[in-house]
Structure 1
Amino acid sequence: MVGGNPVVATDPAATIARRSQPIVTPGLPLRVLVVTYNPTVDASSGTRLASHMGWFDPHQLVAAYAEDVAACSHGNLTYEIVAHKTIDGFPAHRDGHRYTLREFLDCWERRTGFHTPDEADYDQILASHDVITRINDGDIDELWIMAPPYSGFYESHMAGPGAFWCNSPGHVPGPHLRGVRASRRFVVMGFNYEREVGCMLENLGHRTESMLSEVYRGMRGGANLWERFTNYEQVAPGRAALGNVHFAPNSTHDYDWGNRRPVMSECDSWLTFPVLDAPMRRVTCGDWGGGDMREHHLWWFRHLPHARGETNGVSNNWWDYVRDPNLVNCR
């Protein structure tokens, strides 16, 4: 219902989700270990791959991304970089392959010949940086990997007990970890420093989609507020809200963030969640940056519910689930 009496997002008949206790302390920054694979190209000048290729500086990307997320989450998701390690080489693929500098540069110049399967060896990385022990000790909460293209990393990848889909299959530990097991779930973010901050936000967006899809899985009709939030005109005519990471309210295909077609959207209501009473209004790409990826994603994130309390057993602050996958009860 739009207009008239306030619409409160509640449905007594909805499935009630039992919330877990938070493992990441609410209100405190997530503690992050950053590992950057950035091999030296010229030892005499100290030039590394990112600079040699004219790509983005990994340290600047990390800082800009953290600043963007803090702002668009209304301070609900902030980061403390515990350490930023730079590795003078390429990460290992799951089959043991590791690029040499010459091999990678030759492949890049030809735009062909890259190693397949393009799958990173997560276990080797987790083991070599003692990630599981540091997660268990509370020293860090998640791992970010900065790497060149064709390194084989998922945009986001969940590990730990009960790991579920996080824009990639839940991680199953292998022999590299020598029996070491995580005591809680955590996420490994994979970032490509060839790409700009908007792509990093997209990675977080898909992580968010995975978390909220799991939170609301099994809820039907009006109880599934995540489904309502992600409505866009093409799939829900006359009921567009925010859309999803790839589809703005008026998009007709993936990445169509620059569409000028006006549609009606209830986007403003989500700024006052759980009261959804703002009138629908006409929106175009001018509302979210005119086609700029970074601006669209910031606009989308700013509308993510971030209120106190619960509705149908689900936190009214959806950033809780983005921060801490241990709060998500798999159905």
Structure 2
Amino acid sequence: MLNRLFGWSKRGESGDRPSMLRGDRPGEPITLKVALITHDPPIPERGGLPLSRVMGWNDAETLAAQYIADLRACSGGIADYRIVMRRHYTDFPVKSDGFRYDSATYLAAWERRMPAHQPDEADYERLLDQIGLAAELERGELDELWLFAFPYAGYYESRMVGVDAFWCNAPPLRLPHARRRYIVMGFNVERDVGCMLENFGHRVESIMAHVYRNHPPDRNLWERFTRLDECGNVHFAPSSVRDYDWGNPRSVWARADAWYQFPDLSAPARVMRCAEWGGGDMRLHHLWWLDHLPRVAGETDGVANNWWRYVLQPWIVP
């Protein structure tokens, strides 16, 4: 129910607690320190204006503020992201094969709707070396990197880095010097905050699937959560019949309400319709879905009943 999303009480402050383990009390904010990294090259062919302004795309700072506010709301105040560092670059990121766009080749590709250069993936090791924040991430002075760029930049929606990193909607980047796992989020300024929440939702799916990877089917609560007769997943609402079908108007029986009483999942199913999750609006569906993630005290079958602890702190995931 969308009214739950924006009715949470004023959050507490977490102070300067150590970075490695947070959120061990129910409802306690988990403060996460972020470096916001933008790539927005000037375009000489358009008077030297930054690419985002030439194209009329979104402002990275505005998107980040909306994303922070939305995650704080749908987590009940637990997700407490704070941007503590900013770095701005005026070059085009290098691809994994060494290719780099310049203003002319990028404009030609975009304006002619040419396919992106293949391989499209950015050279993440080179990019992270350029950013140069490995020591801060290792010491817990930073928790995440948020990359903001343009279409064809080659960013994954999310990627986990670390010597023991695992799949997080992208292949893990297992760097031997990165003993503490962290996540690099990739955002496209052509898109809006609904797409950013989709990136985060797929991060949730990857991490929680990993958390429950050794549970038998009858005790795998993550698999149960994502069933269409429960809460569905990022691409499928309870009434969906295909990907992104969040606005399908058919009435269905679902047990999404039970997850508000977790770990008691005995509440009966009821008839649900797409108006409950925004009537087809991407952002509202994702807020609705994320709002149903358990966030209470205790543990069940060895897994914390506050799933946000894992989603926000990949370094604690077993």
What is the TM-score of this pair, normalised by structure 2? Answer: 0.89
Q: CA RMSD in A?
A: 1.8
Does the residue aligned with 2:111 lie in a helix, a strand or coil? helix
Counterparts of 2:47 and 2:95, CA distance in 1 = 29
147, 160, 169: which one aligns with 1:158: 160
| C-alpha deviation, 1:218, in angstroms | 2.3
Counterparts of 1:71 and 1:122, CA distance in 2 = 31
Q: Would you say the 8 A contact 1:24–1:141 is kept in 2?
A: no
242, 252, 255: which one aligns with 1:266: 255
Q: What's 2:106 paired with? A: 104
One-letter amino acid of the counterpart of residue 254, structure 1: D
| C-alpha deviation, 1:24, in angstroms | 4.2
| C-alpha deviation, 1:128, in angstroms | 1.5
Deviations 1:90-119 (A, max 9, x none): 111112221111110111011115321101
Q: Could you list the runs of 4 or more consecutive aligned residues of structure 1 that deviate by over 6 angstroms after TM superposition?
A: 43-46
Q: Would you say the 8 A contact 1:42–1:48 is kept in 2?
A: no
Deviations 1:155-184 (A, max 9, x none): 1100112110100111133xxxxxx71121
| C-alpha deviation, 1:283, in angstroms | 0.8
Counterparts of 2:80 and 2:48, CA distance in 1 = 32
Counterparts of 1:89 and 1:113, CA distance in 2 = 20
* Contiguous gaps of at least 5 residues in structure 1: 1-21, 174-179, 233-239
Does the residue aligned with 1:78 lie in a helix, a strand or coil? strand
Counterparts of 2:115 and 2:193, CA distance in 1 = 28
| C-alpha deviation, 1:277, in angstroms | 2.9
171, 175, 181: which one aligns with 2:177: 181
Q: Would you say the 8 A contact 1:104–1:114 is kept in 2?
A: no
Q: Would you say the 8 A contact 1:24–1:30 is kept in 2?
A: no
Deviations 1:127-164 (A, max 9, x none): 12222211112220111100101111111100112110
Counterparts of 1:261 and 1:25, CA distance in 2 = 41
Comparing 122-131 with 101-110, greater Cα deviation is found at 122-131
Count of residue correspondences? 296
* Contiguous gaps of at least 5 residues in structure 2: 1-18, 24-28
Q: What's 2:26 paired with? A: none
What is the TM-score of this pair, normalised by structure 1? Answer: 0.86
Q: What's 1:316 paired with? A: 305
Counterparts of 1:146 and 1:102, CA distance in 2 = 21
Counterparts of 2:120 and 2:48, CA distance in 1 = 28
| C-alpha deviation, 1:46, in angstroms | 6.5
Aligned pairs for 1:275-290 (under 5 A) are 275-290=264-279
Counterparts of 1:33 and 1:314, CA distance in 2 = 30
Does the residue aligned with 2:105 lie in a helix, a strand or coil? helix
One-letter amino acid of the counterpart of residue 204, structure 2: T
2:236 paired with 1:256: no
Q: Could you say which structure has the greater relative contact order, defined with CA pairs below 8 angstroms and 6 or more residues apart?
A: 1
One-letter amino acid of the counterpart of residue 79, structure 2: L
Deviations 1:54-93 (A, max 9, x none): 1111110011001100110111112110112221121111
Q: What's 2:197 paired with? A: 201
